[in-house]
Structure 1
Amino acid sequence: MSTYYLRIEGINLYQNLGDSDQISVIRGGSLLLREAMQTIKHRFSQLDSISTGASIGFFSFTADAEKAAEIQQAVVALLNKDVYQHLTFTVDTHLASAEGFLFDKEAILAKNRFHQMRQLTVAVPAPNAHLKVNPCALGNLHPATTQIKIKKKARQVCPSIKQRHYFGKRGKWKFYEEETGEKQVRKTTLDLGQIAAPGTAHDPKRDFANLNRKIAVIYLDGNGFGKIQNKYCKTPQDLQNFDQQIQQQRQTFLTQLLDKMNADVDCITLDDRLRIETLLWGGDELTLVLPAWKGLEILAFFYHFPWQFKPKPGMKPITLTHAGGIVFCQASTPIQRIDKLSRDLAESVKDMPEGRKQNLFEYAVLESIDFPTESIPSFRQRQFGNLHQSRRPLKPLDEDKLAKARVLREEIPKGQAYTLARMAVNGESMMPGLKRLDEVIEADSKDIEQQLECIFPEDSQCWQWLHLVELWDYLDTPSKQEVLV
Structure 2
Amino acid sequence: MNFSAVLSDTEDLSTIRGSGLAMLHAVEYAAKALKELTRGAVEQVTTGASVGVFRVSAADQADAWTVARNLRARLTAHAPAAANDEESEPARPLPGAIDEAELLRVLDHLSILTAACAATADFRADMETLLALIRWQQQQAPSLVLPAAGTSWDKTKLICPNDHTRLADTYIFRRKDEGPGRYPASRSVRDRHAYGRHYKQTLYDRVIDGIPYLKDDGSKRRKRAYADELADPARQPDKALDGKMAALYADELADLARRLGAPLDGKMAVLYADGNRFSEQIRDLVKASDTPIETQKAIDKALQGWRSKLLEKVVKLIELDDRDYPLTRIETLLWGGDELIWVLPAWRGWEVAALFAEHIRNEPVEGKGRSMDVPEKDGWSMNMSHGLGMVFCHYDAPINGIRTLAKNLADKVAKAERTSTRLAVMVLESFDAVGQDLEAHLTRTYGTAGITPSAMCLTAPQGASWNDVPCAVAKMKEHLPRRRLHALADALLRHGPVTTETDRARGRFWRDLDAPAEAAIREAAETLGRCWGFDAQGTDARLWLHLDMLWDYLAPDVQDMAEV
Using structure 1 for the length normalisation, give the TM-score: 0.89
Task: Give the structure 2 partner of residue 12 of structure 1.
Answer: 2
Match of 1:277 among 331, 336, 359: 331
Q: How far 1:464 moved relative to its partner?
A: 1.2
Q: Percent same amino acid among aligned pairs?
A: 27
CA-to-partner distance for each residue in 1:107-133, whole Å, 9 max, x for gaps? Answer: 211222222222211111244422222
- Per the alignment, do residues 85 and 316 of structure 1 end up closer, same or farther by CA in structure 2, a change over 3 Å counting? closer
Over 3 Å counting, the alpha-carbon distance change for 1:28 and 1:329 in structure 2 is same
Deviation at 1:54, TM superposition (A): 1.0
Report the counterpart of residue 223 of structure 2 in structure 1: 183
Q: Secondary structure in 2 aligned to 1:132?
A: coil
The 2-side partners of 1:253 and 1:60 are apart by 30
1:52-71 paired onto structure 2 within 5 Å = 52-65=47-60, 66-71=62-67
Asked whether 1:392 is paired with 2:456, we answer yes
Secondary structure at 2:392 match in 1? strand
The verdict on how the C-alpha distance between 1:229 and 1:447 changes in structure 2, with shifts beyond 3 A counting, is: closer
- Find 1:75's aligned residue among 71, 74, 84: 71
Partner Cα distance (1:470, 1:348) in 2 = 19
Which has more radius of gyration?
Answer: 2
Which range moved further: 444-453 or 225-234?
A: 444-453
Q: Is 2:278 aligned against 1:225?
A: yes
Alpha-carbon shift at residue 267 of structure 1 (Å): 5.1
**Is residue 194–residue 269 contact of structure 1 (8 Å, CA) maintained in 2?**
no
Separation of aligned partners in 1, 2:324 and 2:297: 40
Report how far residue 334 of structure 1 moved. Answer: 1.1
Q: In structure 2, what is the Cα distance between the partners aligned to 1:281 and 1:453?
A: 32
2:350 corresponds, among 278, 293, 296, to 296
Paired residue type of 1:478:
D
Q: Distance in 2 between matches of 1:454 and 1:310?
A: 28
Contact 2:389/2:423 (<8 A) preserved: yes
Pairs within 5 Å for 1:203-352: 207-209=261-263, 211-233=264-286, 234=289, 235-262=292-319, 264=320, 266=321, 270=325, 272-305=326-359, 306-313=362-369, 315=379, 317-352=381-416
2:549 is matched by which residue type in structure 1?
A: E
Give the partner amino acid of 2:250: T
CA positional deviation for 1:400: 1.8
CA distance in 2, matches of 1:447, 1:243: 44
Aligned to 2:138: 116
The 2-side partners of 1:183 and 1:134 are apart by 43
- Match for 2:479 among 397, 411, 414? 411
Query: Is 1:323–1:350's contact at 8 Å kept on the other side of the alignment?
Result: yes
Q: How many residues align?
A: 460
Q: 2:508 aligns with which of 426, 429, 436?
A: 436
SS of 1:364's equivalent in the other structure is: strand
The answer to whether the 8 Å contact 2:459/2:531 transfers is no
Cα shift at 1:385: 4.3
TM-superposed CA distance for 1:35, in Å, is: 0.6
> CA–CA distance in 1 between the matches of 2:284 and 2:466?
31
Residue 399 of structure 1 aligns with an amino acid whose one-letter code is N
Secondary structure, counterpart of 2:23 in structure 1: helix
1:327 alignment partner, SS class? strand
CA-CA distance at 1:482 after TM superposition: 7.0
Aligned to 2:192: 164
Which residue, 98, 121, 134 being the options, matches 2:158? Answer: 134
Q: CA deviation at 1:250?
A: 1.3
* Structure number having the greater strand percentage: 1
1:269–1:275 Cα contact (<8 Å) kept: no
Task: Show the counterpart of 1:461.
Answer: 540
Equivalent residue, structure 2, for 1:198: 259
Could you tell me how far apart the structure 1 residues matched to 2:522 and 2:307 are? 42
1:427 equivalent among 472, 495, 516: 495
Which of 1 and 2 has higher RCO (CA within 8 Å, sep 6+)? 1
Q: Quick one: which amino acid aligns to residue 72 of structure 2?
A: V
Q: Runs of 5+ in structure 2 lacking a partner?
A: 36-40, 78-103, 210-221, 225-245, 370-377
SS in 1 for 2:387: strand
Q: Distance in 2 between matches of 1:411 and 1:259?
A: 33
Cα–Cα, structure 1 residues 259 and 448, in superposed 2: closer, same or farther, change >3 Å?
A: closer
Question: TM-score normalized by structure 2?
Answer: 0.77
